[in-house]
Amino acid sequence: MTTASKVHLSSSQQPVFYVPGITSDTANMTNELLQENHDKHHIYFNYAGFHNHIAHHLLSLFALNATPAELLQGWNDNVSYQRSPVPLRGSIVADMYDPKKYKTYLGRERHYHNFSVFFEEEMDKKGWQEVLNEYLFKGDEQADDMLVRMFGGILHPIIHLGFGVEFEQPAIIAEALAQAAVHDKREASHLIESEKAAMAYSPDARSYTTIVQLVEEIYGGTRWFSKDQTKYASRVHVTEETLEEKMAEMINAAGELSTPILQPALVFNLLTVYFTGAAQHPPHQVKFDFWNIHAVNLSLFFSAFLRQPWLSTPNKIRLLEWKIRVDLDMYASPRPAKLLLDEITNYKSKKDSSWEEIFKRVRAYHDDGHACKLVRALGHGEQVCKKYEDKDGFMIKGDMWRKLGNMAIDSVEAGSPDYVRSGAWSSVPLRDQSRM
């Protein structure tokens, strides 16, 4: 039975994107390992703020129909370097029920365990949906502070939340809330300022500027100064009328749409899949940018967020607008990359794997879960966007999704470095010239 402190997945689970045929043995192994991670490990595996990805990894493997042996391999690859949580302080958990005292513990990693238990207690009393509405989506100072922290840490807290919501696991949601609570809010502090600027720029939430135009302006500039960050983000708007019907476009579209209302459509493809997959650097081997893949991985969970009946439409809009603004920021920093679409369309994989083979390869790959998260997000993108790909402006379409899947698994199997960090292509080997 699922509780706020006990993980319980079943073989009949139907997450946003999954490979059918999940067995009870796979579900049982995933439950056992996730529970041990929940009970015994901190959300950081060191004292420098590096994240524990075990929950992400195992839930991605579960969704991709991993065998118990593959799940155990993923666990064994990462369990040895995890750290134990700081011992629980019951008096501090009690303090957290006082909003003034609650604030004093924010941003301090040693209180991760205390926050986790606090949120578990709250969910046992109120249910996880009500706790999220109160602590993230209420719109007051405390909730806005937490929502900003959710978008910090290279998006790790909100990715963690996405897993918890998608798989309906309160224990994972408690981890996500506690994780956000111990992050600082500097990385995403611009979101509140940008939101206010957007309301001033267009009180009726309409804009005649598409995200494509914003990206072209950003790429044409010389630097991405903080004042420009607000300037561009203020021109991002989503409306209630376009939210659900354009959700699929949010996962794919990359071009100017015929309607003057800024569509959420453009985010995933242009600002995640497109700028991640097309931001290559020939003649170096194909590699994905480590920071950008987090935006791709997060995008999958908007299918989960938008289908939640307990989450209000204004909060769904707000989440989506914040995602767009964060994506713009990630694309632009430290310097926007030139996007080479033919790197995707002309890509030739030695194996040219089917999706089934790609999933098999990534399940067997030894890492901390970034590769299987990326592959699952790409598979989800193809699934959701397929019926819209004949519309103008959809740049990632048809077999390009599978090409991206091959690029993702090929790039990590090619050897170190698995990913490019901050445009440091000098560490990436050159390509085999015979395949260029």
Break the chain into its structural domains and give their ranges: 1-187, 190-435
> What pLDDT, on the 0 to 100 scale, is given for residue 314?
93
Decide: helix, strand or coil at residue 373.
helix
CB burial of 334-352 (b: ≥16 within 10 Å; e: otherwise) equals eebbebeeebbeebebeee
**Distance (Å, whole) CA 131 – CA 74:** 31
Q: State the pTM of this model.
A: 0.91
β-pair partners for 288 = 419
> What pLDDT, on the 0 to 100 scale, is given for residue 326?
84
- 22, 26, 160, 177: which is closest to 113 by C-alpha? 177
Kindly list the averaged pLDDT for each block of 10 residues, start to end, along the chain of length 436: 91 96 98 98 96 98 98 98 97 97 97 98 98 98 97 96 98 98 90 85 61 66 55 72 57 32 39 69 88 89 94 93 83 72 90 98 98 95 82 78 96 94 83 62
Decide: helix, strand or coil at residue 374.
helix
- 43, 12, 79, 66: which is closest to 375 by C-alpha? 66
Q: What is the DSSP string of 190-240?
A: HHHHHHHHHHHH-TTS--S--HHHHHHHHHHSS---HHHHHHHHTT----H
- 303, 293, 253: which is closest to 272 by C-alpha? 293
CB burial of 187-209 (b: ≥16 within 10 Å; e: otherwise) equals bbebbeebbebbeebbeebebeb
In the block, tokens 């309906």 appear at 168
> How many other CB atoms sit within 10 Å of the CB of residue 275?
24
